[in-house]
Structure 1
Amino acid sequence: MLQECLKRVETAFNEALVSVTCIVHAVAVLRRHCCCQLSTKSNEQIPVTFKSFCQDHFFSYLSIKDKVKAMFYHAYNSYLLHAYPLDELKPLSCSGMDTWGSFSLTLIDSLDTLLVMGNETEFMRAAEIILRTVEVDMNVNVSVFETNIRVIGGLISAHMLSGRVKGMALEPGWPCTGPLLRLAERFAQKLLPAFKSATGMPYGTINLQYGLHRNETAITCTAGIGTVLLEFGTLSRITVRDILFLGNPHYERVALKALDALWKLRSSLNLVGNHINVETGEWTATDAGIGAGVDSYFEYLAKAALLFQRPELMKQFRTYVKAINKYIRKDDWFVWISMTSGQLSMPIFQSLESFWPGVLALTGDVDDAQRIIYQYSQVIRQYGFPPEFFNLPKQEAVSKRAGYPLRPEFVESLYYVYRATKDPLLLEIAAEVVDAIEFSCRTRCGYATVVNAEHHSVEDRMESFFLSETTKYLYLLFDPDNFINTDGTVARIIETPNGQCIIDAGGYIFNTEAHPLDPAIVYCCSAKRNSDLEMIARFENNIDLASLMGIFDETLPPFGRGSLSNCCWPTDFNTESVSFRRFLNSAFAKHIYPAAGIHFIVGLICLSAGDSTEEALYDADWPNVYEVDYGKNATAIDEIRFNKFRYRSMPEVGYDVLLTPPLSYLSRFTGLGQVKPRPDDAQ
């Protein structure tokens, strides 16, 4: 193994000597294949050049990953020792405090991070403690936003990932039922009264025992309204409410109603403000930007579109992106302006805005994301981490808003952009962030919030998101083989009351607190899957293979899904009167065929190959994949593979359904059959 390492190092090092542009690549090779081994086999005969280059200037992925893991456990164990059962740790005084509702919040927020770092034993112990001790019916006022993303999101994610834990007893019917899921739903039920406003947008605060106070303010931030759907939608898809194992649609409905209200209240510039009256719909703070008070609204539009296959949400997100680029973006920075006039109101970069490159990378705007993350990196390398507010004209931290409360947004974007580009320079930057946190924030009892990024003074608080987000994203950056990072080539088949399901296949969608949600489980437990399987059975019973082989009948069941939002049919092809023959002879089919070389009918949905990878990408709602070869005299259709339990790949492949190019690290399943282009296409 060592000799193989040295061979790779020699190649990379020689390239680096020839071209400066190869140095970054050489660094990556050295880190991954050399440094760890040099530290453990120093007695081997190793060329001095390589040994010095490696040991003096770089350290391995493994050492950084271990450093992040040690960072997590120092904070986690300090919380258990000094703060539990209170919400948060005070790392300077080695004590604790309740902040968001007395939920043992840091313990809930840490659950899935324990599994990401491979600690199944502690996960089981912590989950048992939470189920035994956490109360829901308390006389305490809580933030709807924070309770949703931290408590409900953390419990749902822990429930979904619990199936990976060896020795953990799972209820019959898991993943569509389970104690952690029921606890999450109990909290969601307590939040529902907050949505009883005239507009359907939720109030910001609610009492868990008594509900909405009659004097509660109706002013809520935009993010508080728009950051609900991932958790509430997942609950609707996977919670059991009857013997048919169908979820409760009410949670998703109230979240969608709130989103719809926000969308309708955007300005003529397609921008939204910062705060709004949920009873009247009047904007009370009209500053438009992508930072505090707005940020996760945009994030949830994109992520919910992917998780729940809702193209209309992605269209809304794209509309906002276009407006943001036109009015708010200034040379890869983003300022604050009036949502109505577009006039500049605040030329400030906020650390919360650092999430933006990650969402852009997730939705396919990788080049843009990379440019922006490099821009932000200038600030990080100046201070070690991003100050809360950075004055763009003066290029300095705003004196009274220069703190760093261990926020994750910058490393979150590093994670997404690195996964999309594999740019090793982003790992260099991430390693610098790890060192900065370790140097400036570590205390005897955890990690402390930085009061001022210029002189790195600290104060007595450690937010729970340091354990749920910051350390998790840093760890995943340096652990490419982690199950969260799987590319869909490995999965598990399980038996459920709904039949077989494939889960743990990657493509996890993180909520805004970095709690990963498995889209396969969302689909496995959903009522939509039941209706899909019924449709498939009806289709199989009615299909006439003789007709498909060329003996056409105009009364053949149509190959159309009946909705322009699900497939790029031309306008006259979205009704049930369309026959298969008419579709094949259409200008639409003939138009896309020469470009794609191959055209697919996937179950009842059209899907073009789109590129020359010679792989049939699979839209898993519909299991029948056919290759269509346009011959001179007949249309031959061959089934490539049939598997009704395969789940959805990225649905935008070859289409504008979600207006997003496919990213390999998000793909669900690929390579369901090799596709051979026509001879004239190959020439």
Structure 2
Amino acid sequence: MLSHNGINIFILFLLHTLMPSNFVLTISNRDISSLREKVVSMFYHSYNGYMKYAYPYDELKPLTCTGHDTWGSYSLTLIDALDTLLVIGNQTEFVRVASALVKTLDFDRDINVSVFETNIRVVGGLLSAHLLSGRVGFQLDDNWPCDGPLLNLAFDVAERLLPAFDTNTGMPYGTVNLRYGVPEGETSITCTAGVGTFILEFGTLSRLTGDQRFEDAALRALNGLWKAKSDLGLVGNHIDVQTSKWTAQDSGIGPGIDSYFEYLLKGAILFDSPWLLEMFRELYKSIVVYNKVDDWYIWSNMFKGKYSMTTFHSLDAYWPGLQTLHGDVANASRTLKNYYSVWRKFGFTPEFLQIAHGLPIKGRESYPLRPELIESTMYLYQATKDPYFLEMGREILHSIETSCKTKCGYATVKNIITHELDDKMESFFLAETTKYLYLLFDANNFLHGESDPADNDLKCKMHSQGYIFNTEAHPIDIGALKCCHTKRIKEFETKVTPLPLTCKTRNFDARLSFGENFIED
């Protein structure tokens, strides 16, 4: 293991090797418009390829132009891509696809699924599409956005995930059967992100429907993680959800932990929760002390604070975006430029890079079309309007377009050195990668702006307080949530019969506070 000084020396060498010496900013409004059109073309090429060759399977295999099931056999790419259709302006296709999903989706199936992936992709995708459906008038009634067919689907699948949270600690198992609950013999070991990445979707469900079970489950899980952190204020990578014993003690910002931090900060914003914000801030302070080295972030032991792995992971690239959302723009910018230097060297970021040598780790040389670098670039451009970040986006777009495009989609880069391709196109390519690229080059998109005149006739004012993206880039409308939550509280306080709800199992328990009630000794 390298010493701190050794890391510094290698990082300085790496930066001088990778960063361009003369970076000229030449981007114009015409260029930006052209780039936006290229992203739209990229989206439709992969979307149409999926619909032609892969639907109703989960994902497209872009080299062989076939489909296969990956996370649950529920047309995952179509669910994940639904809100992107509205982001790029295709209202007609959104209505067509949403109508088809309402008619065909059935989650009453004897299949084992990832609790984490099903939540962020399926529950998140359906909730976002439901909240955006007001822009096109899709099957709205007087109770919208507090009820609706897409919300009912989200409720159905999320309810099937709830048995996973029935543990001694409230932290969920990693796998659940959609019909029968937690499989017999299921391991109680779950990654930290798999425990702490529910409050956005589950909290949204509770605020829209009045059913408190979802919010309660997510908060208990977060409280379980909070109690299990080390005395240094760090969390590890994997934990036993029955005993709270850490089985992997490496602490960092990347794989296995990443979206836990993301959901604390975004949950604090979405639900006005001082409790979640304080948790994020305390953890953030510890990360700066024990994981940050010259604007890179490495791994350390959660109990001893000593460096354990001096590696960069492609998933780390979400971090500057989260820093920007937190207001730490200067540090975010420096870290993103470090990560971008890796992209410039190879044309892509590998899953794992040994920072000291500036080379990918053997067996982890792939780039599976991940969005995180683009995500942070979009956040930083929105915060600074610095054209440097547009140039970054242009180069990223060029790399993907020239190296990953196939006859029917875009393929994972199997090896970033040779640019050999792999027959995979994960659903997040249409949910996140293309969406964040489009938003980077579309300064006037409704997701960036203030309230829209098109929302004036809606009882719950859409778009009035902005959006929060879940970790799969599904936007959640803050104003719509607050509107429904207020309605549910009024129903409870005045003992008026609740609004009619399609799902008969919904339970109403309005709660005025958020999170503070769940701090246990």
Q: What corresponds to 1:448 in structure 2?
A: 411
Report what 1:177 is aligned to.
147
1:183, CA displacement in angstroms?
A: 0.3
Partners of 1:106 and 1:391 lie apart in 2 by 32
1:199 aligns with 2:166: no
Q: Distance in 1 between matches of 2:105 and 2:489?
A: 34
Contact 2:135 2:454 in 1 (8 A): no
Equivalent pair of 1:87/1:105 in contact (CA under 8 Å): yes
Partner residue, 2:387: 424
Matching residue within 230, 233, 238 for 2:208: 238
Letter paired with 1:209 = R
Q: Which amino acid counterpart does residue 148 of structure 1 have in structure 2?
A: N
Q: 1:88 aligns with which of 52, 59, 83?
A: 59
Aligned pairs for 1:97-108 within 5 A: 97-108=68-79
Q: Comparing 335-344 with 484-493, which one deviates more in the overlay? A: 484-493
- Verify: 1:139 aligned to 2:98, yes or no: no
Contact 2:439 2:445 in 1 (8 A): yes
Equivalent residue number for residue 37 of structure 2: 66
Partners of 1:435 and 1:334 lie apart in 2 by 27
Partners of 1:139 and 1:146 in 2: CA distance: 17
CA contact (8 A) 2:468 2:477 kept: yes
1:402-443 deviation digits (Å, cap 9, x = unpaired): 100000011000011111111100100110000000111100
Between the aligned partners of 1:472 and 1:462, the Cα distance in structure 2 is 15
Residue 494 (structure 1) shift? 4.4
- Whichever residue aligns with residue 86 of structure 1, its letter is Y
Change (3 A) 1:340 1:308: same
TM-superposition CA deviations, 1:368-410 (whole Å, max 9, x none)? 1111111111111111221111111111111211100000011
- Residues 109, 468 of structure 1: 8 Å contact kept: yes
Q: Report the CA distance shift for 1:21/1:534 in structure 2 as closer, same or farther (over 3 A).
A: farther
State the Cα distance separating 1:129 from its structure 2 match: 1.3
Alignment-derived partner of residue 513 in structure 1: 472
Cα deviation, residue 367, structure 1: 1.0
| Offset from partner CA, 1:422-468 (integer Å, 9 cap, x none) | 11001001100000001111000100000111111011010000000
Match of 1:41 in 2: none
8 Å CA contact retained: 1:491, 1:504: no
- The verdict on how the C-alpha distance between 1:303 and 1:96 changes in structure 2, with shifts beyond 3 A counting, is same
Instruction: From the superposition, tell whether residues 172 and 529 of structure 1 become closer, same or farther in structure 2 (CA, over 3 Å).
Output: closer
Runs of 4+ in structure 1 off by over 3 angstroms are 20-24, 487-491, 493-496, 527-535
- 1:352 equivalent to 2:322? Answer no
* 2:239 match: secondary structure: strand
Aligned residues: 478
CA distance, structure 1, for counterparts of residue 450 and residue 103 of structure 2: 36
Residue 116 of structure 1 corresponds to which residue in structure 2?
Answer: 87
Whole-Å separation in 1 of the counterparts to 2:92 and 2:491: 38
Alpha-carbon shift at residue 171 of structure 1 (Å): 2.4
Q: Does structure 2 conserve the Cα–Cα contact (< 8 Å) formed by 1:153 and 1:513?
A: yes
**Which residue identity lines up with residue 172 of structure 1 in the other structure?**
D
Task: Give, in whole Å, the separation in 1 of the partners of 2:48 and 2:300.
Answer: 44
Amino acid of the structure 2 residue aligned with 1:526: H
Secondary structure (helix, strand or coil) at the match of 1:484 reads coil
Instruction: Note the C-alpha offset of 1:493.
Output: 3.6
Match status 1:213 vs 2:183: yes
CA contact (8 A) 2:452 2:463 kept: no
Aligned residue among 347, 351, 358 for 1:384? 347
What's the CA shift for 1:132?
A: 1.3
Q: Residue type matched to 1:189 in 2?
A: E
Identify the residue that residue 607 of structure 1 maps to in structure 2.
none
Task: Give the aligned residue type for 1:139.
Answer: D
Normalised by the length of structure 1, the TM-score is 0.68
Q: 1:523, 1:529 within 8 Å by CA — same for their partners in 2?
A: no
Q: Which runs of 5+ in 1 are unaligned?
A: 1-19, 37-59, 240-246, 536-561, 567-683
Equivalent residue number for residue 12 of structure 2: none
SS at match of 2:56: coil
Partner residue of 2:121 out of 127, 147, 150: 150
Share of identical aligned residues, percent? 54
1:128 paired with 2:91, answer no
* Matched residue type, 1:524: C
Describe how 1:477-496 pairs up with structure 2 within 5 A. Answer: 477-488=440-451, 492-496=455-459
Change (3 A) 1:529 1:287: same
In the TM superposition, what is the alpha-carbon distance from 1:214 to its structure 2 partner?
2.4
Counterpart amino acid of 2:143?
A: G
The correspondence of residues 47-66 of structure 1 with structure 2, limited to 5 A, is 60-66=31-37
1:277 — aligned with what? 240
- Find the structure with the greater CA-based Rg: 1
In the alignment, the residues of structure 2 paired with residue 335 and residue 255 of structure 1 have an alpha-carbon distance, to the nearest angstrom, of: 28
**Amino acid across the alignment from 1:116:** V
> 2: CA distance between counterparts of 1:300 and 1:157?
16
Separation (CA, whole Å) in 1 of partners of 2:306 and 2:275: 29
**Are residue 186 (structure 1) and residue 149 (structure 2) matched?**
no
TM-score by length of 2: 0.89
Distance 1:137 1:449 in 2: 32
RMSD of aligned Cα (Å)? 2.2
Q: Residues 456, 22 of structure 1: CA spacing in aligned structure 2 closer, same or farther, 3 A cutoff?
A: closer
Residue 318 of structure 1: aligned partner? 281
Instruction: Give the CA deviation at 1:172.
Output: 2.5
Greater relative contact order: 1 or 2 (C-alpha under 8 angstroms, separation 6 or more)?
A: 2
Corresponding position of 1:525: 484
- Cα distance, 1:151 vs structure 2: 0.2
Distance in 1 (CA, whole Å) between partners of 2:385 and 2:465 is: 18
| Cα shift readout 1:259-286 (whole Å, capped 9, x = no counterpart) | 0010010001100000000001100000
